[in-house]
Structure 1
Amino acid sequence: MNPVIIIPTFISARRRKEGGSLLTTYDHTTPISQPGELPRLLHSLQKVRGIGQIVILVASEPSIENQAAEKVQIAAAQYPSLNIAVVGAPELALVQQRMEQLGLGKLSKEIGLSGYGAIRNLGLVVANTLGFDAVVFLDDDEIVDDADFLQKAVYGLGKLTKKGIPILAKTGYYFNSEGTFLSKSQDKWYNHFWQQGKAFNKMMTKAMRGPRLSRSNHVCGGCLALHKEAFKRLSFDPWIARGEDLDYMLDLRMYGSDIWFDNQWSLRHLPPETESEGTRFRQDIFRWLYEYRKMEYSRTQIDLLQVKPSSLEPYPGPFLEPGVTKRIRLTAFLRSLARPDKKAYRKAAKAATGEATLYAQRNCSKYFEFQFVWPELMARFENDQILRTALVQCAAQRQIGVDAPRQAAAIAAQAAGIDPGATSEIRLNIAE
């Protein structure tokens, strides 16, 4: 196979980035002034056998998007043995312009550098345009220790099981800072109504005892491999606050496919300390209420398979059942009594019955509407030599230090067959 490794990285302007909008509040960001965890991952990838193209997607606030991409390009240049392409705002502008030229619309919400799902979708579009037949997603706060990591990533991918079922998506697992794959979530009294770690550990223990490849209820987004027949058909959900990887598993099932767990494919996950537990739990509230409402909506669609919580035991089924709103509210209240960041937890408890519920109701159908567009978009881009050439040239210019926004404008003009001297509007659009 010909896989590409895709690594999203998140850059912030300040040392402590206060929560942004719902979709731009990330688990961790790297301050523009600090190296962050990405160089550590790139260093570890140098020893991986058979490694080919690496694409780094740079997400940041608009005010520093060019500086953020330059920062990542400088970091990438420290590893000349790796073939790294940096994708930032100028490259995204090329994709968006090409979509408009093809009559597909801009789709800036669905494919972009803002929000977990949209960022992964941009990675899939780039991979498809450049002709790769598999994508391996990594997170920037991981370390790869196994020289055969990539070989294990594509093991079985695109093959058939003994029952003739195609393996089009698979996940591995993480070792944490304590050297275990089990969740460190504590079984405390304030988590009585929210035993997420306990349920996860039960699922993982069973999967690790089984055959190498088994049907999975879980996905590690930073250890995820997708065959092109999966990602050409299904996008990630841009409307989910976090947990877009697990959501992708549910989407696969709704559309008649599955994800597989490989208990011999692993890496180390060493994230920086979470700045606000309460803020992260608030994101989880939006995530689980949205997921619950989305699954409820999917059962009204005759072209989708029904996915019931009972088929997702021991995890994540219990978090997708009726009564989840009450459990969330009780957990947030109890944690506000015992955990740090009390104010954030109280705010989270309030969100459970207010804005999170409203958000889920307003947006639960949008992913399925987008899915009518995605396969056509991917089919059009698969053999789109214009966009492919533009992206390759833009990446090459980044590597030699040319002003990427200006270069992207010139490439876009050339790709569209427009005189560069008469493309001030195109230059402006892309530079912005």
Structure 2
Amino acid sequence: MVKATVVVITRDRPWKVKRLIESVFGPELPCLSLVLIDDSTSENFKKIERSLAPYADVCQHRSSTEVKSHIENVLKQTGLTPTQKSCLKVCVGLKSPFHKFARSLSRINLFRDQFLALLSQSFAPYSTARNLGIYSAHREFNAQRIVFLDDDCYIRRPERLMDALQLVGERMEGKEIVAVSGLYQDLSLYNGDRTHRYQKPTPTAILTGMKTFLKCSFLTQQEQRLAIMPSHILGGALILSDKVFLRLPFDPFIPRGEDHAYLIDFKARFTRDFTMVRDNLFVVQHDPPSIKPRRLQEKNILRDIFRFIYLRFKVDQCPIPFFTTRWALKSLVGMFLEPSNSECRLLQLWALLFLARLYAKRNAHKYSNIVVAWRFFLEQLGTD
């Protein structure tokens, strides 16, 4: 039987994690183990620990700090070069490229203090936590498949997950399927006829209740189950084969949207022999996102500016006139419509026209070295 490990990243949501745990270890899913990277408070960490007690033999529950410390000790015993060790530390969050970039801004006076705080506190990438999950799944369970789920998701239809897992290793259009992405189903949109929805097997029926963004991003035709090399994937419903996750880490230079960046990196490196599919019938239950505070929304805009410009530099498409013009106009108009928020708009303009480009120029070429170090590191773990 193929060894599959569910990897979940969480912080202070024990009630949601308990629900997810119960869905993962149901009788219909006998082959799964679980890695939980948990940065909750001590009280919430203990609550989750109690929920995991019946499944202790197939679970690893650690904070990111614990896993990082373990990796740091392992690195001392490996044959990696100093440069490769440095790359690995960035890959798993032992070193932050955002902190390094923030320190380099000491000679830049305009908005220096604001960006120092933002880069140091608000740009912690989710990608490094995912890489910690991969490391743990490989070391503890020798996983052949990893199932990434978000902590606000759970499995309502386990047979759909099993079907999606069985897709990995199959061939399509002459290439081996090594990754499968699924979809979210927002429960709040199905009140009143939830059973009726689940009885319909067509992807179109499932997508009927999705929000506008997902409808646009995951277009499908009636009765079409699989979409080959989709334009977007969901990191909270993602299955990866060891042929991928042992060779390709999540990009630690991305402040958010690491799942989309992973798809771009996959397409750049693996499309000759491998393919990725979206299974429109692999649907996980997903709680509707809460309305984010205005301050967090503004931070996410800045993170997106850094993300999009970095990705364009990374794929050698540095000129981005449409994106730059669109965001510049939006920031300028916002300054006039909301004078009280003008400083935030100026921060966005400064990031858009200068800082994000400087960050991308310095870091876009470094991911390739991280990929090499990641492969060598996990290969050495496999021979221990």
In the alignment, residue 54 of structure 1 is paired with which amino acid?
Answer: L
Which 5+ residue runs of structure 1 have no aligned equivalent? Answer: 11-29, 61-66, 186-196, 300-319, 385-432
Match of 2:291 in 1: 273
**Is 1:358–2:358 an aligned residue pair?**
yes
Partner of 2:231: 217
SS in 2 for 1:206: coil
Would you tell me which structure has more helix in proportion to its own residues? 2
**Equivalent position of 1:56 in the other structure:** 36
The alpha carbon displacement at 1:39 in A equals 2.9
Note if 1:37 corresponds to 2:32: no
Correspondence for 1:71: 44
Normalising by the residue count of structure 1, what TM-score does the alignment of the two structures yield? 0.66
Measured after TM superposition, the shift of residue 284 of structure 1 is: 1.2
State whether structure 2 residue 276 is matched by structure 1 residue 259. Answer: yes
Instruction: Name the CA distance, whole Å, in 2 between partners of 1:178 and 1:48.
Output: 28
Secondary structure at 2:298 match in 1: helix
- Structure 1 residues 281 and 336, CA gap change in structure 2 (3 angstroms): farther
CA offsets per residue over residues 87-136 of structure 1, 9 Å max, x none?
22223212221122103326322114852111111111122223110100
Aligned-pair CA distance for 1:351: 1.8
Count of matched residue pairs: 320
Q: How does 1:264-303 map to 2 (within 5 A)?
A: 264-270=281-287, 271-275=289-293, 276-296=296-316
**Structure 2 residues not aligned, in runs of 5+:** 95-123, 191-205
What is the TM-score when the length of structure 2 is the normalising length? 0.74
Match of 1:6 in 2: 7
CA RMSD of aligned residues (A): 2.9
Distance 2:222 2:283 in 1: 12
Of 158, 166, 186 in structure 2, the residue corresponding to residue 155 of structure 1 is 166
Deviations 1:36-85 (A, max 9, x none): 6333333443436224211111247xxxxxx54x6324313224444432
Identity %: 25
> Which whole-Å CA distance do the structure 2 matches of 1:247 and 1:208 have between them?
28
Q: 2:69 aligns with which of 93, 97, 102?
A: 93
Q: How does 1:344-383 map to 2 (within 5 A)?
A: 344-383=344-383
Q: For the structure 1 residues 141 and 352, does the alpha-carbon distance in structure 2 shift closer, same or farther, using more than 3 Å as the test?
A: same
Contact residue 329 and residue 350 of structure 1 kept, 8 A: no
The 8 Å contact of residues 57 and 86 in structure 1, kept in 2 or not, is answered as yes
CA distance in 2, matches of 1:223, 1:55: 15
Which residue does 1:167 correspond to in 2? 177
Q: Using the alignment, how far apart are the partners of 1:202 and 1:324 within structure 2?
A: 19
What does residue 124 of structure 1 align with? 134
Indicate the residue corresponding to 1:84 in structure 2: 59
Instruction: Say which SS state the counterpart of residue 148 (structure 1) adopts.
Output: helix
Tell me, in whole angstroms, the C-alpha distance in 1 between the residues paired with 2:339 and 2:219: 30
Alignment CA distance shift 1:321-1:371 (3 Å): same
Structure 1 residues 366, 207: closer, same or farther in 2, change over 3 A?
A: farther
